[in-house]
């Protein structure tokens, strides 16, 4: 299965059905807070009109969307205590007036498209417990004032564009349990002041630009369970030996951090389960001390470790992955690593010793069937002619990876009653959003992605008495989540492929209504709306054309600019296939992928509606006709953005995807020249593991793609892999550097560049419109592009390697050139994601469903919540 060790990434959708809400009557909202809410709405762009009732009545008594209120003792007014506006397709900025909501406890705008800074005025709200702003496009520094919030339990600002240092004032957040700051552009050192946080459980700062030494003082954090800092640059730093004193630590993940020195003794971590120190510059022997028996994953690959493999690995009964690939380990292949493991059910062990210096296989070496040993690239493979060695030494492209988030959809109904009242609804939201459900540590950190209210009264018509106690509710949730995990695991193992239904003779419109219950988070447009948006598909609105059909720029009724792909008649799909494609696209959420806004499927028409990208395609700006040529810094940032988008498709999309048509015309640029990968019409789902847990190395498929970008090995063998996208991106990198097209006047860009590169004279091929550039950075980018375009699949870097090298080149830019230059564009791009329109309360019972292919909902009127362990 794709999940790594004991920390699966997951998405849980919790669905709650209620039919009655208690309304506090006889009071009204504090007039000052009414003005604040209006100021907040004034800064927001609401294309789906989710906040339409914010113009009617009293916020608290009229139940404005996402506004929850409480009666404060000795106060004549009701006060706003929660703003729950997550996943509502809101853009615009967060108004600083929010700091005047003096009784606010929850500020939740996650998974929208907000831009601008986080207002420092948030620090004026002493009652705040939850701040969840993740999944937006917020930028600028983190305000020091957030450190004033001593009641704050959780700060989640991951998946934004926030820069600058982590404020030292965060060391004052004495109630904080969860600091999620990953996937931003934070820089500087991790403040040692964070060690003062007595309640901190999760410190997630991976995928930033952090540097400097790892703080020794983190060892003093009394309750830290997860320290995740992958993909930063702690160059010259070593792993502090004091981390062995963090007795509560479950997970230590420091992948690709430029760490040096040796691996410290970690035997004092009595609850330890997951260790990833791969892709660093660690040296010396592997410690012989024994790790905790809970350990499932040890990844020490791609370092400079030496010595022999310690026997202590044999005492780990729960081990699932041991990777020491790509080091200098010598001696014999150990034969007892699995000796203490009882393989039950589908439990298995992967031991990856590839590319080391192992020279001996013991005579009595018979691993169980559930154990996979990988030895290629060791001297023992070259020196032995035995059949056993030949079997173990077969080259493999097996990849153990964390995989996508595990998606779960939970529908929750009251037990012993037909109704939920509002207090129970609020409590349930808090249980999920604040991580107050006690789950097994194996579940790992998760997050609420969605919560939606609606009705299933007709399908679950029964009534019993009183409500749930908190303990009972938590028990139901834990049981539901456990069942969902089990179901997802079974689905992953046994569902090997999806079969598409043939087109029916039933009308396409009725079929779509039948299958659209599986489409989550996209808007269904009518043909009339599409015609109005494009002035009846006037030629003046056409902005492109491809094999799928024509692309039009349209303006929706609310003024949002969109790109509308209208299929021509020969490209029409069956409605089920079309709906399946929409469902797949609706799950792709990344800052470097073009967002799907909606679709139209009526009047014998099929259209996909995307966010509009005002700066066109990368190819447009590389053309000789471009009025304003891109400078090197812009080109590098565009390349890095495109690579990150494709890496997300390969490793984080659910399910993983091979794009299969990466090219310069499919890399679009928003108003700030941020690159976004588009056009998934030829994409294919990545292979899944078989019943034995073996992941196929490729997909056998008909060759499709664009000449000049096609992977030659894929073209010859029909075997599609993730390295096929790497090749295509390599061609794009060559275009970025040279300005040439892949094939022009009989000249092939890969051949032309290779000839110049091998001759050592590259000056003649670099785009002359880049008037000045750092030669050493250009040379590194050219070297990377050439590696990506090698004929042999195994000789190309992985997409993760490409992202890493591009980021290293970006960091090496001379001071003042590392940031994108300001553009004169004033156009903004509306990036729309999944809409959420909570409805009124309804009746229900308990029902749980889960699946690994994404978080679709059976009915858009059902209350849903999505929780994502990472």
Looking at per-residue confidence, does 642 or 522 come out higher? 642
Which pLDDT score is estimated for 512?
43
Which pLDDT score is estimated for 242?
94
283-285 and 297-299 strand pairing: unpaired
The mean pLDDT of 96-112, rounded to a whole number, is: 95
Looking at per-residue confidence, does 193 or 495 come out higher? 193
Which burial class, exposed, middle or buried, applies to 846 when counting CB atoms under 10 A from its CB (0-12, 13-18, 19+)? middle
Helix (H, G, I), strand (E, B) or coil at 196: helix
CA distance linking residue 674 with residue 676, whole number of Å: 7
Q: Is residue 388 within 8 Å of residue 432, measured between CB atoms?
A: no
pLDDT at 76 over 60: yes
CA distance linking residue 520 with residue 506, whole number of Å: 23
pLDDT at 163 over 60: yes
pLDDT at 60 over 90: yes
Q: Name 841's Cβ contacts closer than 8 Å, sequence gap at least 6.
A: 18, 19, 20, 21, 419, 420, 422, 425, 453
Looking at per-residue confidence, does 275 or 867 come out higher? 275
Which pLDDT score is estimated for 466?
34
Which pLDDT score is estimated for 860?
25
Model confidence at 423, pLDDT cuts 50, 70, 90, reads low
Model confidence at 361, pLDDT cuts 50, 70, 90, reads confident
Helix (H, G, I), strand (E, B) or coil at 541: helix
Which pLDDT score is estimated for 697?
55
Is 565 known as a binding-site position?
yes
The mean pLDDT of 451-476, rounded to a whole number, is: 40
Model confidence at 284, pLDDT cuts 50, 70, 90, reads very high
3-class DSSP string for 92-146: EECCHHHHHCCCCCEEECCCCEEECCCCHHHHHCCCCCEEECCCCCCEECCCHHH
pLDDT at 176 over 50: yes
Q: Name 865's Cβ contacts closer than 8 Å, sequence gap at least 6.
A: 12, 13, 14, 15, 16, 410, 429, 432, 433, 448, 449, 450, 451, 452
pLDDT at 555 over 50: yes
Which pLDDT score is estimated for 687?
54
Mean pLDDT of the chain: 77
Which pLDDT score is estimated for 451?
59
Given 46, 158, 654, 661, which residue is catalytic?
661
For the structural domain made of 618-811, what CATH number should be given? 1.10.510.10
Looking at per-residue confidence, does 732 or 8 come out higher? 732
The mean pLDDT of 243-264, rounded to a whole number, is: 94
% of the chain at pLDDT higher than 90: 43
Which pLDDT score is estimated for 418?
62
Model confidence over 573-626: pLDDT tens digits?
555 556 656 777 777 888 898 888 888 887 678 888 999 999 989 998 998 778
Which pLDDT score is estimated for 434?
58
Q: Is residue 135 within 8 Å of residue 112, measured between CB atoms?
A: yes
Q: Is residue 408 within 8 Å of residue 481, measured between CB atoms?
A: yes
pLDDT at 511 over 50: no
Model confidence over 302-332: pLDDT tens digits?
999 999 999 889 889 999 999 999 999 999 9
Which pLDDT score is estimated for 455?
37
Q: How far is CA 393 from CA 165, 324, 380, 688, in A?
A: 47, 15, 8, 23
3-class DSSP string for 807-848: HHHHHCCCCCCCCCCCCCCCCCCCCCCCCCCCCCCCCCCCEE
Helix (H, G, I), strand (E, B) or coil at 35: helix
Helix axes 799-811, 722-738, angle to 10 degrees: 30
CA distance linking residue 718 with residue 722, whole number of Å: 13
The mean pLDDT of 39-65, rounded to a whole number, is: 92
Model confidence at 301, pLDDT cuts 50, 70, 90, reads very high
Looking at per-residue confidence, does 523 or 505 come out higher? 523
Model confidence over 801-851: pLDDT tens digits?
999 999 999 988 886 554 444 333 333 222 222 222 222 222 222 222 222
> Can you name the CATH fold of 522-611?
Phosphorylase Kinase; domain 1 (3.30.200)
pLDDT at 646 over 60: yes
User: Which has the minimum average pLDDT: 212-216, 622-626, 674-678?
Assistant: 622-626
Model confidence at 477, pLDDT cuts 50, 70, 90, reads low
Q: Name 822's Cβ contacts closer than 8 Å, sequence gap at least 6.
A: none
Listed by start position, the domains of the chain span 406-497+833-867, 522-611, 618-811
Which pLDDT score is estimated for 86?
85
Element (H, E) at 726: helix 722-738
pTM, 2 dp: 0.54
pLDDT at 865 over 60: no
Short-list 265, 274, 215, 273, CA closest to 245: 265
The mean pLDDT of 29-38, rounded to a whole number, is: 94
The mean pLDDT of 760-784, rounded to a whole number, is: 87
pLDDT at 449 over 80: no
The mean pLDDT of 275-303, rounded to a whole number, is: 93
Helix (H, G, I), strand (E, B) or coil at 685: strand
User: Which has the minimum average pLDDT: 62-66, 436-440, 828-832?
Assistant: 828-832
Which pLDDT score is estimated for 830?
27
Which pLDDT score is estimated for 341?
87
Helix (H, G, I), strand (E, B) or coil at 38: helix
Model confidence over 519-548: pLDDT tens digits?
556 788 889 999 999 999 998 999 887 667
Looking at per-residue confidence, does 703 or 657 come out higher? 657
pLDDT at 570 over 70: no
Identify whether 655 is preceded by a cis peptide bond (ω within 30 of 0): yes
Check residue 233 and report its DSSP letter. Answer: B
User: Which has the minimum average pLDDT: 298-302, 361-365, 413-417, 537-541?
Assistant: 413-417
User: Which has the minimum average pLDDT: 462-466, 525-529, 719-723, 815-819?
Assistant: 462-466
Which pLDDT score is estimated for 369?
85
Dmax of the chain from CA atoms? 88
Model confidence at 770, pLDDT cuts 50, 70, 90, reads confident
Which pLDDT score is estimated for 433?
63
Q: Is residue 795 within 8 Å of residue 607, measured between CB atoms?
A: no
Tell me whether residue 794 is one of the annotated catalytic residues: no
pLDDT at 415 over 60: yes
Which pLDDT score is estimated for 575?
55
CA distance linking residue 32 with residue 675, whole number of Å: 42
% of the chain at pLDDT higher than 70: 70
CA distance linking residue 647 with residue 634, whole number of Å: 20
Which pLDDT score is estimated for 839?
27
């Amino acid at each position: 299965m794709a999940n790594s060790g004991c920390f699966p990434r997951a998405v849980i959708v919790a669905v709650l059905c209620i039919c009655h809400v208690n309304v506090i009557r006889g009071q009204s909202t504090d007039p000052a807070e009414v003005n604040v809410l209006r100021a907040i709405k004034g800064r927001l762009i609401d294309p789906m009109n989710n906040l339409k009732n914010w113009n009617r009545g009293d916020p608290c008594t009229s139940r404005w969307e996402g506004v929850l209120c409480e009666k404060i003792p000795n106060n004549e007014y009701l006060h706003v205590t929660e703003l729950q506006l997550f996943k509502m397709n809101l853009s615009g900025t967060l108004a600083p007036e929010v700091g005047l909501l003096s009784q606010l406890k929850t500020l939740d705008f996650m998974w929208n498209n907000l831009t601008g800074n986080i207002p420092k005025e948030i620090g004026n709200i002493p009652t705040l417990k939850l701040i969840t702003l993740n999944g937006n496009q917020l930028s600028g520094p983190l305000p020091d004032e957030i450190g004033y919030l001593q009641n704050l339990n959780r700060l989640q600002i991951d998946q934004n564009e926030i820069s600058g240092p982590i404020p030292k004032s965060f060391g004052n957040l004495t109630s904080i349990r969860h600091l999620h700051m990953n996937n931003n552009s934070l820089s500087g050192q991790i403040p040692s002041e964070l060690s003062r946080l007595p309640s901190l459980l999760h410190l997630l700062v991976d995928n930033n630009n952090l540097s400097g030494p790892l703080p020794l003082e983190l060892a003093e954090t009394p309750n830290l369970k997860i320290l995740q800092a992958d993909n930063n640059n702690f160059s010259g730093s070593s792993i502090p030996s004091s981390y062995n004193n963090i007795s509560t630590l479950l997970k230590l993940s420091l992948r690709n951090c430029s760490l040096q020195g040796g691996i410290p003794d970690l035997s004092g971590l009595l609850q330890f389960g997951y260790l990833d120190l791969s892709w660093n510059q660690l040296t010396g022997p592997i410690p012989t001390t024994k790790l905790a028996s809970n350990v499932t994953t040890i990844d020490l690959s791609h370092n400079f470790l030496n010595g022999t493999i310690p026997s202590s690995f044999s005492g780990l009964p729960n081990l699932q992955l041991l990777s020491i690939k790509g080091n200098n380990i010598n001696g014999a292949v150990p034969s007892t690593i699995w000796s203490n493991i009882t393989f039950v059910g589908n439990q298995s062990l992967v031991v990856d010793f590839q590319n080391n210096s192992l020279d001996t296989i013991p005579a009595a070496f018979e691993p169980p069937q559930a154990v996979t040993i990988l030895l290629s690239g060791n001297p023992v493979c070259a020196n032995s002619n035995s059949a056993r060695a030949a079997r173990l030494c077969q080259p493999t492209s097996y990849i153990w990876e964390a995989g996508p988030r595990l998606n779960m959809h939970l529908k929750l109904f009251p037990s012993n009653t037909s109704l939920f009242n509002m207090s129970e609804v609020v409590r349930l939201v808090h249980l999920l959003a604040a991580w107050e459900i006690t789950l097994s540590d194996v579940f790992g950190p998760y997050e609420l992605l969605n919560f939606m209210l609606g009705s299933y009264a007709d399908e679950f018509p029964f009534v019993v008495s009183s409500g749930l106690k908190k303990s009972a509710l938590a028990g139901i949730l834990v049981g539901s989540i456990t069942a969902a995990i089990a179901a997802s695991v079974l689905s992953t193992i046994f569902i090997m492929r999806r079969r598409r239904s043939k087109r029916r003779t039933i009308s396409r419109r009725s079929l779509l209504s039948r299958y659209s219950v599986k489409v989550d988070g996209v808007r269904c447009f009518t043909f009339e709306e599409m015609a109005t948006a494009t002035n009846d598909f006037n030629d003046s609105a056409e902005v492109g054309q491809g094999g799928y059909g024509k692309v039009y720029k349209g303006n929706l009724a609310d003024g949002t600019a969109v790109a509308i792909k209208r299929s021509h008649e020969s490209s029409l799909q069956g409605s089920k296939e079309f709906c399946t494609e929409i469902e797949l696209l609706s799950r792709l959420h990344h800052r470097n992928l073009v967002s799907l806004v909606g679709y139209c499927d009526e009047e014998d028409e099929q259209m996909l509606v995307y966010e509009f990208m005002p700066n066109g395609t990368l190819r447009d700006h590389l053309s000789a006709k471009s009025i304003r040529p891109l400078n090197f810094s812009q080109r590098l940032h565009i390349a890095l953005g495109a690579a990150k988008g494709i890496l997300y498709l390969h490793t984080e999309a659910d399910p993983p995807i091979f794009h299969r048509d990466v090219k310069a015309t499919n890399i679009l640029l928003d108003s700030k020249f941020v690159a976004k990968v588009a056009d998934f019409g030829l994409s294919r789902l990545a292979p899944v593991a078989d019943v034995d847990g073996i992941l196929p190395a490729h997909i056998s498929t008909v060759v499709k793609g664009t000449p000049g970008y096609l992977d030659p090995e894929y073209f010859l063998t029909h075997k599609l892999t993730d390295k096929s996208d790497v090749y295509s991106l390599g061609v794009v990198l060559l275009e970025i550097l040279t300005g040439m097209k892949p094939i022009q006047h009989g000249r092939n860009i890969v051949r032309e560049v290779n000839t110049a590169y091998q001759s050592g004279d590259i000056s003649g091929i670099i785009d002359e419109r880049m008037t000045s550039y750092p030669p050493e950075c250009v040379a590194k980018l050219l070297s990377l592009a050439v590696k990506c375009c090698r004929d042999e699949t195994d000789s190309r870097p992985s997409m993760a390697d490409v992202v890493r090298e591009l980021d290293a080149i970006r960091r090496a830019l001379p001071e003042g050139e590392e940031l994108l230059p300001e553009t004169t564009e004033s156009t903004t791009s509306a990036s729309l994601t999944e809409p959420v329109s909570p409805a009124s309360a309804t009746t229900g019972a308990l029902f749980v469903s889960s699946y690994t292919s994404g978080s679709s909902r059976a009915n858009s009127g059902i209350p849903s919540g999505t929780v994502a362990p990472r």
